[in-house]
């Protein structure tokens, strides 16, 4: 607890004197706090560089995936048929023509029911499945409570979790409609009410029959002798008609053409993304290591050679070209270095597929040049592109590991400094208490001396 002892006897500004003395005492702690601030600024800069490198690593990983290079772009001749490329490695170029012969439907069964009163004896039995007598058919028993009204029956069917949806439609007449629908389309999702709805006022009627969607290619199964065939689906989406393409139909239609082409523009976009990520890393490193000669001020990482060297190493990977395994290499055949034929390893300039360095030391990407090179030799450019992505991913990964190690070291240093600062808090508090006691004792002593002096003066004046 602090005590004010200002000028009680001496007239000295002891609080101010203690404050000045404590500033001197706190100088070592302030230097430690300054070191913490400097280290925290450096850590933030390292983390900023690391974030840029991590982004480059992730972008390179995306470019290096085989699914990127096997991606396709699908188009449809019909506005009612959607063709969508599916991510994966099984995409292939091609064309197919088909007729949409039927659409997938869910079963809808209805019956008239009274507006009030019970319509069930208490137990309803419903069979779900394809209804073909196979083991795929499933008999479901639904037990009602005391309430056996149409709404209670609908609620019980919904709660049974057997893939059916029931509702009571109010018509405004003397009867309502109990409507039971299959939650899914397709013939395998048909159902049958076997028993338990004895109180309906009209027979159960299927107003819609569960059915599969069907596409006929080359005349369908009816023209199988000439190569025709049909494909069916429980839904209106077909995922196996063309490799890497999902087809969704919405109406009956003939002569629909679906075309699947190599998605070169998609590959080029990912190549551009990697170039952008590399440039962002270069820019971030430049900002964090910059030195302003005019103001003679540096950035947080100006003196860090390891960070500055990341830029040089990255630029060297582009300027020195790319070495990768020749996808056409045949070890059973002779190689000729002079003619560069059948070489196990190939070294090419990055500019061959559109990547280059400009005069400012940044990467550029020419999408048109890449597309031309790819169309001329897809196999070679794919091998080179994947190798480029893999090398960039490894480079960025190695650098993030190094920078992360530095960040960890700096954080440990900060923890140690903060521990020392905490210890200084204890020492300074004790020092302040000691100074306050010292000056308080001084005032007390001066007070006693003053009292003695007054008493002596009184005695002397009485002589």
pLDDT tens digit sequence for 358-367: 989 899 999 9
The residue count for the chain: 463
pLDDT at residue number 434: 85
Beta bridge partners of 72: 262
Residue 44 reports pLDDT greater than 80: yes
pLDDT, average across residues 213-221: 96
Residue 107 three-state SS: coil
Residue 178 reports pLDDT greater than 70: yes
Q: Give, for 346, the enclosing helix (H) or strand (E).
A: strand 345-348
Contact 350, 271 (CB under 8 A): no
pLDDT band at 164 (very low <50, low <70, confident <90, very high): very high
- In the chain, pLDDT over 90 holds for what percent of residues? 65
Give 66-88 pLDDT, tens digit per residue: 989 988 999 999 999 999 988 77
Q: Enumerate residues 6+ apart whose C-beta is below 8 A from 389.
A: 60, 61, 63, 64, 274
Which two tokens mark 84?
């969508």
Give pTM, 2 decimals: 0.72
pLDDT at residue number 1: 45
pLDDT at residue number 256: 97
pLDDT band at 224 (very low <50, low <70, confident <90, very high): very high
pLDDT, average across residues 193-205: 94
> By CB neighbour count within 10 A (0-12 exposed, 13-18 middle, 19+ buried), where does 275 fall?
buried
pLDDT, average across residues 126-147: 95
Q: Give, for 206, the enclosing helix (H) or strand (E).
A: strand 205-208
pLDDT, average across residues 309-336: 86
Largest CA distance in the chain: 150
Could you tell me which residue, 446 or 152, shows the higher pLDDT? 152
Residue 4 reports pLDDT greater than 60: no
Instruction: State the fold for domain 1-71+263-455.
Output: f41 fragment of flagellin, N-terminal domain (1.20.1330)
Mean of pLDDT over the chain: 90
Backbone φ, ψ for residue 180 (5° rounding): -120, 125
Q: Enumerate residues 6+ apart whose C-beta is below 8 A from 254.
A: 99, 100
Residue 11 reports pLDDT greater than 80: no
pLDDT band at 89 (very low <50, low <70, confident <90, very high): low
Residue 329 reports pLDDT greater than 70: yes
What phi-psi label fits residue 461: left (phi over 0), alpha (psi between -120 and 50 degrees) or beta? alpha
pLDDT, average across residues 373-381: 90
Residue 320 reports pLDDT greater than 90: no
Which two tokens mark 443?
């005032």
pLDDT band at 96 (very low <50, low <70, confident <90, very high): very high
pLDDT at residue number 435: 81
- Any long-range contacts for 295-304 (C-beta under 8 Å, 24+ apart)? 299/45, 300/41, 300/42, 300/44, 300/45, 301/42, 301/45, 301/46, 301/49
Residue 2 reports pLDDT greater than 50: no
Could you tell me which residue, 412 or 332, shows the higher pLDDT? 412
């Amino acid at each position: 607890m602090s005590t004010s002892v200002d000028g009680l006897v001496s007239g000295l500004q002891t609080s101010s004197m203690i404050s000045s003395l404590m500033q001197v005492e706190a100088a070592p702690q302030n230097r430690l706090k300054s070191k913490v601030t400097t280290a925290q600024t450096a850590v933030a800069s390292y983390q900023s560089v690391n974030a840029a490198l991590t982004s480059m690593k992730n972008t390179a990983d995306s470019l290096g995936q085989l699914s990127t290079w096997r991606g396709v772009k699908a188009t449809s001749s019909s506005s009612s048929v959607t063709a969508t490329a599916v991510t994966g490695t099984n995409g292939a170029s091609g064309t197919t023509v088909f007729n949409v012969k039927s659409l997938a439907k869910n079963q809808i069964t209805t019956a008239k029911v009274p507006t009030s009163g019970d319509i069930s004896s208490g137990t309803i039995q419903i069979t779900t499945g394809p209804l073909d007598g196979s083991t795929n058919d499933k008999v479901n028993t639904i037990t009602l409570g005391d309430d056996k009204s149409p709404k209670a029956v609908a609620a019980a069917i919904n709660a049974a979790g057997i893939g059916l949806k029931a509702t009571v439609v109010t018509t405004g007449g003397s009867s309502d409609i109990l409507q039971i629908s299959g939650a899914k389309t397709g013939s395998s999702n048909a159902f049958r009410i076997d028993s338990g709805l004895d109180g309906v006022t009209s027979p159960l009627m299927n107003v819609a029959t569960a059915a599969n969607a069907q596409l006929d290619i080359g005349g369908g199964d009816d023209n199988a002798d000439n190569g025709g065939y049909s494909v069916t689906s429980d839904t209106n989406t077909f995922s196996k008609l063309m490799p890497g393409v999902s087809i969704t139909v919405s109406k009956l239609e003939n002569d629909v053409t679906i075309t699947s082409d190599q998605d070169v523009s998609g590959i080029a976009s990912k190549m551009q993304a990697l170039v952008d990520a590399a440039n962002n890393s270069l820019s971030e490193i430049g900002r964090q290591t910059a030195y302003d000669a005019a103001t003679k001020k540096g950035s947080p990482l100006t003196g860090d050679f390891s960070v500055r060297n990341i830029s040089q190493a990255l630029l060297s990977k582009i300027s020195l070209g790319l070495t990768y395994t020749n996808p056409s290499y045949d070890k059973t055949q002779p190689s000729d270095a002079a003619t560069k034929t059948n070489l196990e390893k190939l070294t090419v300039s990055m500019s061959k597929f559109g990547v280059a360095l400009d005069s400012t030391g940044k990467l550029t990407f020419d999408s048109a040049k890449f597309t031309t090179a790819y169309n001329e030799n897809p196999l070679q450019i794919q091998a080179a592109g994947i190798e480029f992505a893999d090398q960039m991913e490894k480079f960025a990964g190695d650098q993030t590991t190094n920078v992360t190690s530095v960040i960890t070291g700096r954080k440990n240093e900060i923890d140690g400094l903060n521990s020392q600062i905490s210890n200084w808090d204890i020492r300074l508090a004790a020092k302040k208490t000691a100074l306050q006691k010292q000056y308080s004792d001084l005032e007390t002593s001066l007070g006693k001396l003053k009292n003695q002096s007054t008493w002596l003066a009184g005695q002397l004046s009485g002589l």
